[in-house]
Chain A
């Protein structure tokens, strides 16, 4: 493999603690090293910003509901399907890009890893087929557990060991990465057209509450010692006044200590928190509770969050929170896609237009920014758009511009149609903080890498770490001042190194890299009870045979397996 030396760049990296100083970064055999030989190719990064490759901790980029969004919205491609000259394929789609565009667009922005946030276990083969076809970026997927019959039955009896054994079995069958939970209990209730709106609403028939599911899954996750923590989409998403449900849910993690060998420090990751930080009791008086929520998060060291920033675009919402999508459809009357998955989960898809002229949307926009700006520890707060729910991931550069420049975000805030109402319902106008390049590196690199248990190799530029490096055309001494300039600089990297190879050069894809699928293989004690239950459920209730359930090896030809030993 080639050797490279990246010279004279301004490095921003919290792993080595470098805050914009000039430092040469050497690359050899796919890793960052102390030094390289004299024959190493020189990459001149003078006047540029050097960071590790970015990690997206939560995006919906592959799988059945994403693809439903793609093919049932031809209008998303009608004016956006194109091919650029070179080695790339045709790319298309705005809010739900095709797999090719997904890979290229992330790489062009400096991302090297993306977590698919919700994989229905029964559809795992579909998720992996799409991951297989997505070029350049490394990916992993989180299977959903919060409405799974096995889990509901085990946790009703507080059987943590059985829950853990079942989770380990599912991770192996589906090549999954961790424990995702969407609207605990609510999606199972939705199979009967019902929902669970607080953490104490009982799940129909199963007679368990969301609070018990959350507590149990956190315990099982720590019992296994998985690289990533329990990853939660709370109940009552998107409704005015839901911040109390959010705080109730987060409090369930109090006192739980992380137990793992991956350097992870949280036990609960609360995702797209923007959708869960609303006050008021109707859409007429909805207001921001970002401060209340972040005050709590800042105090609790065992929590991490991501923002779910609204980008004010036309987009396609999609979630395993089936009842929410039905509710949204009743609000906007756009086309409603729903699928309920036997014994496991469900999902819905509804297009949505976030308009700067709609007060509620503008308030949502402000809340997302406030969460990041109130965060005291940037290593625990990550920037996402919950792609594509609050906006497409291709808008990250614009989100950065709002966070990094008070002037840019105030321009946006003050020109909303109902700016007065928005300002009075939110905290944003009073916040002066601007996120620095170093903090951005924490929020998009080292932070998510640690939360995912990948901090040993990813998210930083220390020797020995994987050579995933993004170089931006940004001179920190002369930081761009307009929103458009900031956006442009983050939208197209000068260079992207992936595993030590240059994949993007001045925004142009030059190499497809060595794409890997990450998954976690957790070893547990032999558990006859769980194996019996699995056999029985497949015989009686699944529409698929147990032997046809696993994801075959060929679906993930380049695997990066993280092994966990939870045998006791």
Chain B
């Protein structure tokens, strides 16, 4: 009899929906159905049973093809690469568990790795801004229960976080928000008319690259100072109208995404958005939240935070201290400057997201990629080690975009003999110890 697993945590985006229901075959091997998840989340679960999945490590041959090798051979090769390299980029971590990260950091400390996560090409600029000015934020349930003014700025949850709007931000009825959508005023600020804009009560079209100016104008208006006739394509009257409406709100929340972090100004855009939030707290309650995209990228920042005190780009290559300097210890810059001797990628796909020059640099170095799937990075790696899918075939802790940790659930067994991230990293760690005890590779 197929059985249903409830309260499953979706392993796709930072929304971490935890109400997914999965039907599993009675031998515990196959997912038969997915309920409650969005299209992307359902696909993530359905991947599990797709034919053609790589089940054993693959090593690149001289002729460029892959040959299947045993896990032991793969572990041996990886450990030797790590021990030999004086400076290794250990990038990724966003689709694995915090427990696995911890073991990875232990390895990094021994072999002098640089641990970086997807924030480096994503909300890294938000983290820099928070390091500069702090951030007043809240949990997603606060938004559901209290928010009556919701602003989406440079983000498009309709596509990137499909259930965000129904679970937390636009539609749900909460304790003090019994009218749900009707009781909230939704703003969408973007340079394009997105599908999120369609759900908004007001779409504010900002001229591309003028987010900083518009945020600055809102601050100015909030303080009652004079404005020019238009700012970033938005008329003065509109800006004043928005600010007056926000001040009437009881609880304002601003969600922002790549439209702010990766347009001109970057961390400065976030900086001023946070300062607007801070200013609005003089009139009413206002919070701001980054729409963290890649599943457990928030968790990587947390674990790095409590172990080393920095949220990403942590350079342990000196082995006796941790350093963090954007532009210096960040992955893309390291690759562009050809500063690392080997690459160790886990639970993400830099090949699909890094600038081409960085990946060209990466492709010339010994590279191991640990990932359940065949993806862009595996195709330029010397070794691809497949692992069980975290949140589907094994559990582990993940952090939601509001930093709330949730222990994910194992739904089905991984293919026979396949290791989890934790098991694999533990074995690599032991092998590294062995090599170091014997004087290196």
Contacts and interface: CB of A to CB of B under 8 A. Distances in A.
B406 interface: yes
A340 B136 CA distance: 9
B407 to A, nearest CB: 5
Contact of B18 (A123, A193, A544): A544
Given A342-B141, A543-B168, A64 B403 contact: yes
B193 interface: no
B115 to A, nearest CB: 12
A127 to B, nearest CB: 9
Interface in B132-174: 132-142, 144-146, 167-168, 173-174
B311 A71 contact: yes
B134 A337 contact: yes
A180 B138 CA distance: 21
Given A82-B320, A125-B397, A548-B406, A98 B134 contact: no
B138 A340 contact: yes
Interface stretch (B39-47, B49-57, B183-191, B298-306): B298-306
A543 B131 contact: no
Contacts of A438: none
Interface in A362-380: none
Contacts of B135: 72, 336-338
Contact of B136 (A89, A123, A336): A336
Interface stretch (B203-211, B230-238, B278-286, B332-340): B278-286
Nearest to B20: A545
A455 to B, nearest CB: 31
Contact of A541 (B9, B141, B303): B141
B104 to A, nearest CB: 13
A191 B176 CA distance: 12
Interface in B99-154: 102, 106, 109, 127, 130-142, 144-146
B144 A342 contact: yes
A81 B7 contact: no
A70 interface: yes
A50 to B, nearest CB: 33
B404 interface: yes
A51 interface: no
A545 B18 contact: yes
Q: Is the interface of A mostly helix, strand, loop or mixed?
A: mixed
Contacts of A133: 102, 306-307
Contacts of B198: none
A535 interface: no
Given A71-B301, A340-B287, A547 B7 contact: yes
Given A125-B397, A339-B403, A340-B138, A90 B305 contact: no
- What interface size band does chain A fall in? 35 or more
Interface in A67-121: 67-68, 70-74, 76-77, 81-83, 89-90, 92-93, 96, 98-100
B353 interface: no
Contacts of B136: 336-339
A98 B307 contact: yes
Interface in A128-177: 129-130, 133, 149
Interface in B6-47: 6-7, 9, 18-19
A90 B308 contact: yes
A335 B406 contact: no
Contacts of B303: 129
B98 interface: yes
Given A336-B278, A544-B406, A93 B309 contact: yes
Given A122-B139, A335-B134, A192 B145 contact: no
B199 interface: no
Interface residues of B, number: 65
Contacts of B309: 70-71, 73-74, 76-77, 81, 92-93, 96, 98
Contact of A342 (B19, B98, B139, B278): B139
A126 interface: yes
Interface in B385-430: 397, 399, 402-407
B316 interface: yes
B86 interface: no
B405 A343 contact: no
B144 A541 contact: yes
Nearest to B321: A81
B250 interface: yes
Contact of B134 (A83, A92, A123, A350): A350
A470 interface: no
Interface in B184-231: none
Contacts of A70: 305-306, 309
B324 interface: yes
B320 A83 contact: yes
A555 B102 CA distance: 13
B359 interface: no
A542 interface: yes
Interface string B315-326: 010011111100
B91 interface: no
Given A335-B133, A541-B144, A544-B18, A99 B323 contact: no
B75 to A, nearest CB: 23
A509 B284 CA distance: 50
A429 interface: no
B311 to A, nearest CB: 4
A541 B145 contact: yes
A268 interface: no
Interface string A538-559: 0011111101100010010000
Task: Count chain A CB atoms within 10 A of each CB in B131, B278, B307 and give the residue with the most.
Answer: B307
B251 interface: yes
A233 interface: no
Given A67-B302, A192-B285, A98 B142 contact: no
A395 interface: no
A99 B136 CA distance: 24
Task: Count chain B CB atoms within 10 A of each CB in A64, A71, A126, A335 and give the residue with the most.
Answer: A71
Nearest to A124: B405
A340 B321 contact: no
A349 interface: yes
Contact of A81 (B141, B278, B322): B322
B308 A72 contact: no
Given A76-B309, A99-B306, A349-B134, A126 B405 contact: yes
A73 B250 CA distance: 31
Given A336-B278, A339-B136, A340-B137, 12 more contacts: A71-B309, A98-B309, A125-B397, A125-B406, A133-B102, A335-B133, A336-B134, A337-B134, A342-B142, A543-B144, A545-B18, A547-B7
8 contacts: A123-B403, A123-B404, A129-B98, A336-B133, A338-B136, A343-B141, A541-B174, A545-B19
